[in-house]
Amino acid sequence: MPQDKSQSPNENQNIPIHVAIIMDGNGRWAKSRGLPRLFGHQAGSKTVKKIISACLERGIKFLTLYTFSTENWSRPVFEVKGLMTLIGDYIDREAMKLHKLGVRFKHLGRLEGLPKFLQEKIKKAIELTENNLGITVCVALNYGGRNDIIDAVKAILASGIKPEEITEEKVAEYLATRGIPEPDLVIRTSGENRLSNFLVWETAYSELFFTPALWPDFTVENLDEALESYSKRKRRFGGLDVPEMTPSLET
């Protein structure tokens, strides 16, 4: 959902409406401890629930978690299979608990590309929580920003929309994030300073925060540090600050 670039939706607020997180560093966390990479993913899953709860407590309405990209399929087969199983187990274990907290789940990405068992678990979690109003957690799983734009373009062409009818708002209606406000703040853990094909369209005017903390070590204090940094920034959306007083042109 494109925002009015002339005014931030949080102009008079310190808390962002939508926070997106690139959860990076699970593998490095495990390697530094001499453990298999899957142990890092298991440790990272514990951080997920903690951060969801913290965002809910702080009044954040949307949280998007970059869980598995379309590029991640190139990783070793045993790691990918293990991660898919881990995600499925997490849904079984935590979906009802998060539902009771008022969490609503939404999936971003190509659902059909995931294992059938995981597709079914995701669909059930979405159905279970579809009427919740506490916080919407978007799980970007088998997601790639460029692929999402390609899928949107294909759908627009198939719909017969005329070229002159295509606007930013129209494109946004065909993205996986349709109906979701663009991220105010994007956090990336592990010290990497790039977006890695994450919400390519939607992050055009997002504020960015990079932290060296690996995802399993990411704490509520780290989250608050990012939120504090965000609260001190001025979001201009390509414009200029409006001066408090307009100088008179009279001589």
Report DSSP state, residue 182: P
Alpha carbons 220 and 145: distance in angstroms, whole number:
27
Q: What amino acid is encoded at 22 in this protein?
A: I
Which token pair is 33? 């401890």
SS3 label, residue 20? strand
Residues tagged active-site = 24, 72
Closest CA to 237 of 202, 198, 206, 208: 206
Alpha carbons 192 and 211: distance in angstroms, whole number:
8
Q: Write out the DSSP string of 84-126.
A: HHHHHHHHHHHHHHHHHTTEEEEEES-GGGS-HHHHHHHHHHH
Which token pair is 59? 């009044």
Which token pair is 221? 């204090």
CA angle at 206 for the pair 53 and 10, rounded to the nearest 5° = 70
Alpha carbons 12 and 231: distance in angstroms, whole number:
10
Alpha carbons 102 and 98: distance in angstroms, whole number:
7
Element (H, E) at 22: strand 18-22
